[in-house]
Amino acid sequence: MSTAAAVVVYGATGHTGRFIVAELQRRGIATIVSGRSAAPLAALAAETGAGVEARPAAVDDPAALDRALAGAAAVINAAGPFAVTAGPVVEAALRAGIPYLDVAAEIEANASTFADHAEAARKAETLVVPAMAFYGGLGDLLVTAALGDWTAADEVHVAYGLNGWHPTPGTREAGRVSHERRAGRRVRFTDGGLQYHDDRSPEQDWDFPEPLGRRTVLAEFSMADIVTVPSHVDVPEVRTYMTLEAARDLAAEDTPAPEAVDDLGRSDQTFVVDVLVRAGGVERRATARGQDIYAITAPLVVEAAQQVLAGNTRATGVASAGTAFHAADFLRALAPNLSVELPN
């Protein structure tokens, strides 16, 4: 397989990175695997199949990153913590003049991408899409589809109905970095901006669509949607929620990593993402269902890469998923990996 129009996957040997490589291969997209360690990359390239090239590069080595991206058509960054990797890989993508996508769930890392690289990406006329993943990207697409012709809302709510959450080592490390970065405080988006605070996250009930039904959730369990949605929607309040059992799994130090239960390597985790937007007393709702929050990130970001390569984008510069793509069409293109219910 030629690498003339290849997509580089940085962090290819990680849990999510391997799903992304497999999805690229399934779609017949030429793939270059990259990351810090040469030996695991070479092994991944060999087991993936002929034509997959390994290009090791440390994130603090700009020359190596330039070599890794040379001649490629786009780069997907799947290497966390993104507080460490996003900036250098975005800068390498801009030097190479190729689109950048990542799967960051870290709130501050995503905010930094929007704040620090918007001008350079705009001048380079290069698309940079952070958080093109289950957290941040999927919610943003659902919100955008629910909004329809609205350009503003009074409030946006994104409720995550997970039957459990077995975090990967990468998720735990990213969480540790975020915790340290905000000095242990929580963050929310209210009154039109990010606010840091020390009070406890309240609990409430959320009526998910069946079969999940009414569940107790942690309110203000803030995820990357509080960055992606306000980047293009005029809204003073964005709240995200997490089912209590999933939040407890994530908090517990002894919760094991996810285990594969099918031939695709997915775990038995199921999810419902339920979005509610309100404006002028009118409500609109959009919902998505699927299996395994890590596995679903692969079709999300690879569909984005494929649409970028095909020129099916609506923005340049730093843009969220809902800005970069036609949200409803994008979500429907993810079938059968994702089942969606959108407003008429």
Binned at pLDDT 50, 70 and 90, residue 3 comes out as: very low
From CA 128, how far away is CA 316, in angstroms rounded?
Answer: 7
Q: What is the pLDDT of residues 111-122, one digit of tens each?
A: 999 999 999 999
Query: What are residue 205's DSSP bridge partners?
Result: 216
Binned at pLDDT 50, 70 and 90, residue 201 comes out as: confident
- Give the mean model confidence (pLDDT) for residues 229-255: 97
**Residue from 230, 65, 60 nearest 151 by CA:** 230
From CA 220, how far away is CA 272, in angstroms rounded?
Answer: 17
Binned at pLDDT 50, 70 and 90, residue 4 comes out as: low
Concatenate the DSSP letters of all residues of 283-301 into one string.
Answer: EEEEEEEEE-HHHHHHHHH
* Vertex 124: Cα angle to 299 and 90 (nearest 5): 50
From CA 253, how far away is CA 175, in angstroms rounded?
Answer: 12
From CA 234, how far away is CA 21, in angstroms rounded?
Answer: 36
317-318 and 127-129 strand pairing: parallel
From CA 329, how far away is CA 310, in angstroms rounded?
Answer: 15
Q: What is the pLDDT of residues 18-48, one digit of tens each?
A: 999 999 999 999 999 999 999 999 999 999 9
* In contact, 155 and 237? CB cutoff 8 Å: yes
Radius of gyration of the chain (CA): 19
Percentage of the chain beyond pLDDT 90 is 94
Q: What is the second-level CATH architecture of the domain 7-133+297-328?
A: 3-Layer(aba) Sandwich (3.40)
Domains 7-133+297-328 and 135-292 share a fold: no
- Give the mean model confidence (pLDDT) for residues 223-251: 97
Binned at pLDDT 50, 70 and 90, residue 79 comes out as: very high
From CA 207, how far away is CA 171, in angstroms rounded?
Answer: 27
Class of 135-292 in CATH: alpha beta
From CA 4, how far away is CA 73, in angstroms rounded?
Answer: 7
Distance in angstroms between the alpha carbons of the first and the last residue of the chain: 41
Binned at pLDDT 50, 70 and 90, residue 1 comes out as: very low
pLDDT at 238: 98
Q: What is the pLDDT of residues 252-287, one digit of tens each?
A: 999 999 999 999 999 999 999 999 999 999 999 999
203-207 and 214-219 strand pairing: antiparallel
pLDDT at 87 over 70: yes
Q: What is the pLDDT of residues 106-151, one digit of tens each?
A: 999 999 999 999 999 999 999 999 999 999 999 999 999 999 999 9
pLDDT at 2 over 60: no
pLDDT at 210 over 90: no
Q: What is the DSSP letter of 253?
A: T
Q: What is the DSSP letter of 151?
A: S
CA 176 to chain centre: 18
Binned at pLDDT 50, 70 and 90, residue 49 comes out as: confident
53-56 and 31-35 strand pairing: parallel
Helix axes 82-96, 62-69, angle to 10 degrees: 60
> Which region, left, alpha or beta, applies to residue 222 given φ > 0 means left and ψ of -120 to 50 means alpha?
beta
* In contact, 318 and 130? CB cutoff 8 Å: yes
Among all chains, which residue has been given the structure tokens 């779609």?
Answer: 27
Binned at pLDDT 50, 70 and 90, residue 169 comes out as: very high
- Any idea where the domains of the chain sit in the sequence? 7-133+297-328, 135-292
The DSSP H or E segment spanning 43 is helix 38-48
